[in-house]
Structures are given as structure tokens and as C-alpha cells.
Structure 1
Amino acid sequence: MRERAKRVKMLILDIDGVMTDGRIIYDSKGNELKCFNVLDGMGFVLLGQAKIKVALITAKGSKAVLRRARDIGAVEIKRNAIDKLTAFRQILKKHGLSAKDICFMGDDLLDLPVMRRAGLAVAVPGACGEVKRAARYVTKKEGGKGAVREVIEVILRAQNKWRKLVGKYDR
């Protein structure tokens, strides 16, 4: 897995169940509310400093998702993407990347086609069995509870960037 992580140039994420715990809350006006993890947020800052891009592919498309995409500096967001493979291919083409350059994190059946093609496929512990079997790595942390940060650290350590990035904060 380390060799695959060394090659990563972009992290592509599903949102519900990966960046969140998978629960959907609706307010009294019908808006979707989502909870995101601050440890993941700092991980996105470190990824940006390491010049590794982030993209999101989701079958849903709430305002909360757009806000989080903006907050984390995602270069691409594909919303309402039931066909995630098409969205994946569009992202690769637009950014001049190959599937081997991608780490993809997913948790459910819609994610399988991308997981089978990404250079590094990652699942969260709560993922369905098929997704976990397709993954090269299953995180120790649950979706929405630091799983994304865990993978970011794996990538940055494999690329020998972690210590330098952390050193900026450890003075």
C-alpha cells in the first residue's frame, strides 16, 4: 500500500459515510445538515500544503456539501453523481491524471466502480462488505470521525512530507 500512496496526486472522496458518519439530519425548512470532522479539516490544509489536490464525488448535492468543498479547497465537486465512474473519468481528464494517481475513499455500492480503478482504494469500517473487499486499506477510524485524516497521514508519510509539514506547527 505504501508504494501506491507514494504516487497519489489527488484524493477523491465520497461524502456521506466517509467525510460524515452517514447520518442525514433535516432542519425544519427541509435543509440537509451534515457534521464534518475538524481533524479531517486540518488534514486538508496539510494536503494543500503538499500540493495534493482534493475532489469530491457524491450522489447527493446539498448546500452543506458545497460549503464544505469550498472550505477544504476542493478543486472539483461532482454532485448528484449516481454514475460515479463517469464523474471520476471527467475529473481525471480535466486534471490530466491517470487512475493510478488517485486515492479514492468510499463506503457503498455506488463507489465500487471507482474503487476498482483507483490506484489506492480505501474503505471505512462501516462500509458494505463489497466495498471493504475492493479496498487496499480499511481505515481504523470511522467515517466522519477522522477516517479522512488517517488516510491523509498515510499518504503524506509515504511521500516523506509529513514531518516537514508538521514541523511548521511544532515549534
Structure 2
Amino acid sequence: MFTPELQEKAKKIKLLLLDADGILTDGRIYYGDYGDEIKSFDVRDGLGLSLWAEAGRKSCILTAKKSSILKKRAKEIRVSKVYHNSHRKIRSYEIIKKKFHLKDEEICYMGDDLIDIGVLKKVGLAITVPQAPQEVKVCVDYITQHNGGRGAVREVVELILKTQGLWEALISKFYE
């Protein structure tokens, strides 16, 4: 649950920016017999991101790798844009901020490794997962209860949308 201070930050969020490996996945990379990359995604995260989009919010993925699997999954769950090959994430972050005409305080970033620290220090709401290294944990506002690739994104989507008073209307269709 968000503290009152975190709730104030969450009320301002318009864009959810996500690292891929370690946030949308468990951080493991599997290879098939032919060298093809295999990733596992949590369906709860997928529904959460679809509801986020339904609420009129934007989401982007910021990843250092290029992955056709990630691009396919992002399309399925209504992610606005995937930024591949972002080895200097802070540069990509500034491009995203400008593209969507947002201020730092209107962006939530979920990252789990050292490459994410620069962005985590800039955004309005910085979040990581339990398996992140200590250097990342000290830079964030919130550490999820769920691990990356195991519902962490859904947890954050729920917390933000509940804080913004949008959650109940979005899920009411599931009760009909």
C-alpha cells in the first residue's frame, strides 16, 4: 500500500515507463535450439497494462536489448511504444518525456538494475522489485511486493489507478 506521500506522487502519474528484463519478465533469458530467444510474461501484468491503456494512460518500454518477442507482447497488451537498444536510458527518457509533453513528476519508472538508476533518480515515482540490487533499492520510492515477471507491474498499475480513483470503474465490467 502506498503511504500518503506516495499517493500524492501517484496522483500525478500519466505515463508508466518500464524496463523489460527483470520487470516485465523474471530477468532470465532462455534460448531455443535454433538460437531463438524465449521469454516468459505474466498475464496479470498484461491485463494491468491493458486496463492502464483503457484508463487513457500511456505506457512505454525502455530496454537495452532488441527483442521481437517483446515487441509482439507490447502490442498485445496495448503498450504505446517500445524503445529498443536504449543503452543510455537517460537519453531515451528525455526523448520520451519530450514526445509525450510530460514533466518528470508525471512519469513513473519501474527499473531493476544499475542501468536504470539515472532514470529512477529523475522521475516523479521511482519503483523497483524485490530482487533488485541494493544500489537500485536506495534510489526508489517504492519496492513492490511481487517479483519482476510475477505481477509487479500489475501491482503498480492497481496502486496508481486506485489512488487516481479510476480502478473500480475499470474493473466493474468483470462483475457483469
Instruction: Report the TM-score, using the length of structure 2 for normalisation.
Output: 0.95
Alpha-carbon distance between aligned partners in 1 of 2:128 and 2:51, rounded to the nearest angstrom? 21
Alpha-carbon distance between aligned partners in 2 of 1:133 and 1:166, rounded to the nearest angstrom? 34
* Count of aligned pairs between the two proteins: 171
1:112 aligns with 2:117: yes
Aligned Cα root-mean-square deviation (Å): 0.8
CA contact (8 A) 1:6 1:155 kept: yes
Identity of aligned residues (%): 43
1:152 aligns with 2:157: yes
CA contact (8 A) 1:76 1:91 kept: no
1:124 aligns with 2:129: yes
Structure 1 partner of 2:54: 49
Structure 2 partner of 1:17: 22
Instruction: Report the TM-score, using the length of structure 1 for normalisation.
Output: 0.98
CA contact (8 A) 2:112 2:132 kept: yes
Q: CA deviation at 1:83?
A: 0.2
Alpha-carbon distance between aligned partners in 2 of 1:167 and 1:22, rounded to the nearest angstrom? 33
2:60 alignment partner, SS class: strand
Q: CA deviation at 1:70?
A: 1.2
Structure 2 partner of 1:6: 11
Q: Residue 99 of structure 2: which of 80, 94, 97 is its match? A: 94
Q: CA deviation at 1:30?
A: 1.1
Q: CA deviation at 1:72?
A: 1.7
AA partner of residue 44 (structure 1): L
Q: Residue 142 of structure 2: which of 97, 119, 137 is its match? A: 137
CA contact (8 A) 1:57 1:77 kept: yes
2:110 alignment partner, SS class: strand
Alpha-carbon distance between aligned partners in 2 of 1:127 and 1:114, rounded to the nearest angstrom? 15
1:126 alignment partner, SS class: coil
Q: CA deviation at 1:78?
A: 1.0
Q: Residue 34 of structure 2: which of 29, 46, 63 is its match? A: 29
Q: Which moved more, 1:107-116 or 1:73-82?
A: 73-82
Q: CA deviation at 1:168?
A: 1.6
Q: CA deviation at 1:53?
A: 0.5
Gaps of 5+ in 2: 1-5
Moved over 4 A (4+): none
1:169 alignment partner, SS class: helix
AA partner of residue 150 (structure 2): K
Alpha-carbon distance between aligned partners in 2 of 1:84 and 1:75, rounded to the nearest angstrom? 17
Q: CA deviation at 1:15?
A: 0.4
CA contact (8 A) 1:55 1:76 kept: yes
1:163 aligns with 2:168: yes
